[in-house]
Structure 1
Amino acid sequence: MIRIAICDDEDQEVQRAHDFLSKYIQAHPQYEYTIDSFSAPLELLSHVEDHGGFDIFLLDVYMAGMLGTEAARELRRLDTNGEIIFLTTSRDHAVEAFQVDAAQYLVKPYTESAIFKALDKVFHRLIVERRHLITLKTSEGMVRLFTRDVVFTETGRNNYQIIYTIQGDKIEVRMTATELFELLVPAKFFVRCGVSINVNLKYIRQITKDVIIFDSGEQLTFPYRAYQKLKAAFLSFQMSTDE
C-alpha cells in the first residue's frame, strides 16, 4: 500500500492534485494506494507525528503559517523519508526544495504530463528502493533502514560500524565494514573507500585527494591510497545517473 498526502491551503488546488492522482492510478492499477488531504502544514505535521509518515507528499510552497519547504524540513526531522513533490507558483524556492531531497519541483499551473512524469519517477523509486530495505540489529533493538538514506559508514570503537543517514542520525551496529558493505552494495551506488569506510556516491559533492565533501557540507577524511578508485567510481556514477 502506497500512502500519499496532499497539502495545500487552496481547496481547488487540493482537488486538482487529487484528480490527477486518481487518473494516474487508474492508468496504473498495479498500485494500491490511499490519499489524505491537508489544508495546512501544521495539520500535516501533527498527523505524521501521531500516525507516521507517508510514502509520497505533494506540497504547496506558499501556505499560511509555514512555507512548504519549512514543512519538508520538519518532515525530515521527524525521520520521514517519503518522496516529496513540490507544487508551487514560483521557482524561488527550488534550491531549498532540493536541499530536503525533493524528487520534483513543479510550477503551477503544471500540466498532466508534468505531474505524471513526476509520479512515474517517485513510484519507480519507491518500488525499486523497497527492495533495498535492510534490517540491522543495534544495542537499542532492530532498525529498518532504506539504503538510499545512508550517506556513509565508518568503523568506530570495538569494531562497531557507525552509519550516518541523510536525516542526521548515527546508528551503531556490531559488524565489520565488509559485512555492512555486502548489505548496502545491491543498491549499486555504494563504494568501498579503504577498509573502514563505505560511501554513498549520490551524496558526494566533491572529492580531493584525502577528503570527501558531501552535499550537506560535511567532510570525511579517507585514505589517500583509495583516491583513484573512489574518483573513478564517482565519475562513472555521475555519467550514468539521470538524477
Structure 2
Amino acid sequence: MLQIALCDDRVEELERVTGLVEAYIRLHPELDSTVLPFQSSYDLLECVKSRGGFDLYLLDVMMPEPDGLAVGAAIRERDKDAMLVYLTSSPDYAVASYRVRAMDYLLKPVERDALFSLLDRAAERSLDDMPSVTVRTRDGVVVVPLAEIVTVENGDHAARYTLSGGRTLTTGTVRSFDEVAAALLAEPRFLRVGASFVVNMLYVDSMTKEQFFMHGGLKIPIPRLRRGEVRQAFLDFMLKRGRGV
C-alpha cells in the first residue's frame, strides 16, 4: 500500500495536484494507494501525530509556518524512511531540501509526466516491501507479488493465476484449492467467490448481482447462494477505503 500526503496552502494547486495523483492511482490499482490532501502544514503534522505517518509526502516549500522544509524536518525526526518530495517554483530550494534527505523536488506548476515518473519510483520502492506468494508451476517456481494477482481460479486439480497485464500462471497438481486460497485471504484485498475463484477487489471495475467485472475484461460469476454475502464483503471493503461503489 502506498499512502500519500499532499500539502499546499494554495487551494487551486492543491486540487490540481490531488487530481493528478488520483488519476495515477486509478491507473495502478495494484498499488492499493490513497492520497490525503492538506491545505495547512499544521493540520498535516497533527494528522501524522494522531494517526501515524504516510509513505510519501508531497510538500509545498513556501507555506505559512511551519513551511515545507520545517515540516520535512519534523517528519524525518519520526520516520527516517519516509519519502519526501518538495513542490517549488524555484530550483534554489533543491539544496535545502536535501538536508532532510528529500527524494526529489518538482517544479511548479507540476506537470503530469514529471509527477507520474516520480510516483513510479515511489511505487517501485513500495512494491519492494509488499508480500508475495510462491507459485509452483509445471515449469518451475515463480515468486509473485500479491499486488499483481487479479484472480485465482480452481480447475482440473490446478490453480490458474491471472496477473495484471494479462499474464497467467498455472500450477501443477494441487491437493486443495482451499490451501491456495488461504495464502491470499490473509490479505484484506482478496475475496473468496464461491468454490472456484478468489478475486483481488482492487481490480474490480464494477459489480452486478450475478458477477464481478474485472480489469482486463474478466467476468467472475457469483454463486447465487452467496450473492448477498459476497456483495456485502465487497461493499465493506470499498467503504473502508473511502472509495464508495
User: Which residue matches 1:14?
Assistant: 14
Q: Which has the higher contact order (CA 8 A, sep 6+)?
A: 2
Report the residue type matching 1:54 in the other structure.
Answer: F
User: Which residue matches 1:119?
Assistant: 119
2:22 touches 2:35 (CA, 8 Å); kept in 1?
Answer: no
- CA distance in 2 between counterparts of 1:43 and 1:84 reads 17
What's the CA shift for 1:100? 1.4
Distance 1:129 1:101, change over 3 A: farther
2:17 touches 2:110 (CA, 8 Å); kept in 1?
Answer: no
Report the residue type matching 1:128 in the other structure.
Answer: D
What's the CA shift for 1:130? 5.2
User: Which residue matches 1:104?
Assistant: 104
Secondary structure in structure 2 of the residue aligned to 1:92: helix
- CA distance in 1 between counterparts of 2:104 and 2:79 reads 20
2:4 touches 2:36 (CA, 8 Å); kept in 1?
Answer: yes
1:103 touches 1:118 (CA, 8 Å); kept in 2?
Answer: no
Report the residue type matching 1:75 in the other structure.
Answer: I
1:113-192 mapped onto 2 (5 Å cutoff): 113-129=113-129
2:31 touches 2:127 (CA, 8 Å); kept in 1?
Answer: no
1:84-103 mapped onto 2 (5 Å cutoff): 84-103=84-103
What's the CA shift for 1:124? 0.7
What's the CA shift for 1:129? 4.4
What is the CA deviation profile of residues 158-202 of structure 1, one whole-angstrom value per residue up to 9, with x for unaligned ones? xxxxxxxxxxxxxxxxxxxxxxxxxxxxxxxxxxxxxxxxxxxxx
**Does 1:25 find its partner at 2:25?**
yes
What is the CA deviation profile of residues 88-128 of structure 1, one whole-angstrom value per residue up to 9, with x for unaligned ones? 11112111212212112011012111001111111111222
- CA distance in 2 between counterparts of 1:19 and 1:84 reads 19
- CA distance in 2 between counterparts of 1:95 and 1:115 reads 20
Distance 1:93 1:129, change over 3 A: farther
User: How much is the aligned-residue C-alpha RMSD, in angstroms?
Assistant: 1.5
- CA distance in 1 between counterparts of 2:111 and 2:121 reads 16
Secondary structure in structure 1 of the residue aligned to 2:106: strand
Report the residue type matching 1:98 in the other structure.
Answer: Y
- CA distance in 1 between counterparts of 2:16 and 2:33 reads 18
Secondary structure in structure 2 of the residue aligned to 1:9: coil
Distance 1:45 1:31, change over 3 A: same
- CA distance in 2 between counterparts of 1:125 and 1:79 reads 16
User: Which residue matches 1:229?
Assistant: none
Between structure 1 and structure 2, the one with the greater Rg is 2
User: Which residue matches 1:43?
Assistant: 43
User: Which residue matches 2:151?
Assistant: none
- CA distance in 1 between counterparts of 2:15 and 2:80 reads 24
Identity over aligned pairs, percent: 35
The alignment of Structure 1 onto Structure 2 pairs a total of residues equal to 131
**Does 1:71 find its partner at 2:80?**
no
1:11 touches 1:39 (CA, 8 Å); kept in 2?
Answer: yes
- CA distance in 1 between counterparts of 2:26 and 2:5 reads 18
Report the residue type matching 2:107 in the other structure.
Answer: V
User: Which residue matches 2:81?
Assistant: 81
Distance 1:130 1:74, change over 3 A: farther
- CA distance in 2 between counterparts of 1:109 and 1:79 reads 28
Secondary structure in structure 1 of the residue aligned to 2:34: strand
Report the residue type matching 2:109 in the other structure.
Answer: P
Secondary structure in structure 2 of the residue aligned to 1:63: coil
Report the residue type matching 2:31 in the other structure.
Answer: Y
